[in-house]
Chain A
Amino acid sequence: MNSKNQLRKIIIHLALLCGLILTIAPFVWMISASFSPAGQANQYPPVFIPKTVTLEHYQTLFSRLSVARYFLNSIIISVSITGISLIFNSMAGFAFAKYRFPSKQKLFKLLLSAMVIPAQVTMLPLFLMLNRMGFINTYLGVIIPGIASIYGIFLIRQYIISIPDSLIEAARIDGANDFYIYWRIILPVSKPILVTMALFTFMGTWNDFLWPLIVLTKDSMYTLPVVLANLMGEHVQDTEMMMAGSVITILPIIIVFLALQKYYLHGIMLGSIKE
């Protein structure tokens, strides 16, 4: 029995290790290629550890292509969307969880069923609409469609529902008004789900490229993924530089994820538990 278990243990670990290599290898190769001298990637068989290390591709990206600018654009857009949507979604989630008002269930069902509509349906009219409002080629044009999300409201509502009503009542007896309750009681207690939501939103907007590509005309406003997608068409030969660009784009998101992964993974589980 014991030796059988031992064998199983080895097999499972070997399988898991294979999986680990498959998922990690592309990233390792990306990082290694980004530090290699130009032309190194075009070698057969592939080289995983560069013989000489160089920073030239990063230097080119920052000096010639002003990547810092795009980095800043990405930050501005992602942080704004995350901040605004967090407040809007949590307010609505609170209302759905703890208030009674006419046709609440109907409204909530309408929202939930709308989640089936693919976002791409709205792209064209949304573009024309924002154009009329004068938001094309502004950060606002990218930010506005993201300031509230049905999924976010749903997720936060799920969490707030589990907060005991007695907590709210106690505060009310002490004379607290609704906004005080929202701000001082609900939000602090909901911190885990808020962090999760913030992560979801931040990652989603950081990684998005299609909407910014359409809305932003001037290249000085592009976000990192848009620039990378553009570079892809033109610098196909400069593999090492493309890899450096990928590292700059991916790295922030990975760091944020690793730092807050507990909340993130928890959030996914919460979202999957049905009512």
Chain B
Amino acid sequence: MEFCELAKKRRSIGNRYSILLLTLDLVFSGCNSHTKDFRVIEFWAMGVEAQHVQKLLPQFEKENPGTHVKVQAIPWSAAHEKLLTAYAGNSTPDLCQLGNTWIPEFVVLDAVLPLDEFLQKSQIIHPKNYFTGIWETNVIKKRLYGIPWYVDTRIMFYRKDLVTALSYSEFPDNWAEFFRLCEKLVNQKKTEYAILLPLNGWHEIVIMAMQNGSQLLRDNDCYGDFENPAFLDALRFFVEFYKKKLCPMGMSEVANIYQSFADNYYAFFITGPWNIGEFHQRLPASMQSKWATAPMPSFNPAIPGISTAGGSSIVMFKNAKEKPEVWKFIEFLSREEIQAEFFRLSGDLPANVSAWELTGLRSNPQTEAFYRQLQHVVPTPKIPEWEQIALKIQQYVEYSVFGKMTLEEATRALDHEVNKILEKRRWLINKKSS
């Protein structure tokens, strides 16, 4: 602020230092906004989303004269620490884009505002316009803390040409059939391996386990539930892909996943919507007609296979100054035509279901598979410790795959470790109740 004063003083000196003034103007050009009667909303968005959302602002500011939205870009790689230090330093913005899985943490910190009251009065946002599983990730202890902005889940990307060559008219909808397909591909030397199940991720095993009825945690998310047969059997099935050599052991063998996909190194890959763009861009032109996407297979053919609920939501911080204006902006971002426009800019799948019709996403078979999958998505446990737990799962899955531990040993050790992580949670819950 004092620099603005300085700049103003300098201005009165005269034209003698016009070059200096020019640079000063450049430097202090941000200052003028304070002088007019503007309401400024501060919005933090991550990475490229921040760039794209900027382009939507003129329309909002035209519809809401007197309100100015200031977007600050936070790089994804530093987003988490930036938000936490901002919270600790009491300098959070008014609203922010937040990964669905981060919401529980900020609820624990009591940093974000419940939105139920706003929602009740809203003419624009209705829960029925959203995928149920995605909406669920924003609800903690029956209160709503975020509005989904864009969505994401994991589905199967596969080599259509290889699957049809084995006279499959459709992608298998159950794991048993899928496993047979994998064996056929490898046995008939169509591909080196069948599927990529990287050991540096946790989505694949967690999806399989949740499909098999595992809750992952038990007793109000206070203990690990990995020795439960629901998880154990899923893990056994997962490891089977490695045992039968249907899946390469180390990720380092696959230097370039796109190249390897095109080179018949593997045929199946469980991944998210961002890879649609990457596949278009990175696979050779001859490959473009040969790949497709499909919803996850399931263990019970009668029930569609579920997947994880991902994506980003918009949250409002408790210390937001202009709450009604902030809510107006959230509503603006949630409108179907704005959601559609944001998809066109960024390629992020819209959270508002109506926007899927507007953008033709439903008529495109590659994205249509995502649409079908999104009807059946489930949040991972909504506790702040989830990321740590997921890392532990990853670690013990790796041990099982490499045969360092039997499955029983691995799940027992996993329960033990996870119980230790959750010790603090149990302590806090007991403390509160006593």
Contacts and interface: CB of A to CB of B under 8 A. Distances in A.
Contacts of A218: 72, 91
A137 B30 contact: no
Interface residues of B, number: 24
Contacts, number: 54
B211 to A, nearest CB: 34
A54 interface: no
Interface stretch (A66-74, A144-152, A192-200, A258-266): A66-74
A128 interface: yes
A136 B89 contact: yes
B81 A214 contact: yes
22 contacts: A62-B26, A66-B27, A66-B29, A68-B26, A68-B27, A69-B26, A69-B30, A131-B88, A136-B85, A136-B88, A136-B89, A137-B91, A214-B81, A217-B85, A217-B86, A218-B72, A218-B91, A230-B73, A233-B77, A234-B47, A234-B48, A234-B73
A217 B73 contact: no
A216 to B, nearest CB: 10
B58 interface: no
Given A127-B88, A137-B89, A72 B81 contact: no
Interface of A: 62, 66, 68-69, 72, 127-128, 131, 136-137, 213-214, 217-220, 229-230, 232-234
Nearest to B72: A219
Contacts of A213: 78
Given A66-B29, A69-B27, A217-B91, A234 B51 contact: yes
A233 B76 contact: yes
B23 A68 contact: yes
B301 interface: no
SS class, residues of chain B in contact with chain A: helix
B26 A234 contact: no
B82 interface: yes
A127 B29 contact: no
A69 B72 CA distance: 15
Contact of A131 (B26, B30, B75, B89): B89
A111 to B, nearest CB: 30
Given A69-B26, A136-B89, A233-B75, 14 more contacts: A66-B26, A69-B27, A72-B3, A72-B27, A127-B88, A217-B91, A218-B72, A218-B91, A220-B30, A230-B73, A233-B78, A234-B47, A234-B51, A234-B75
Given A131-B88, A214-B85, A233 B26 contact: no
A220 B78 CA distance: 17
Contacts of A214: 81, 85
A108 to B, nearest CB: 35
Contacts of B81: 214
Interface string B314-342: 00000000000000000000000000000
Interface string B46-61: 0110110000000000
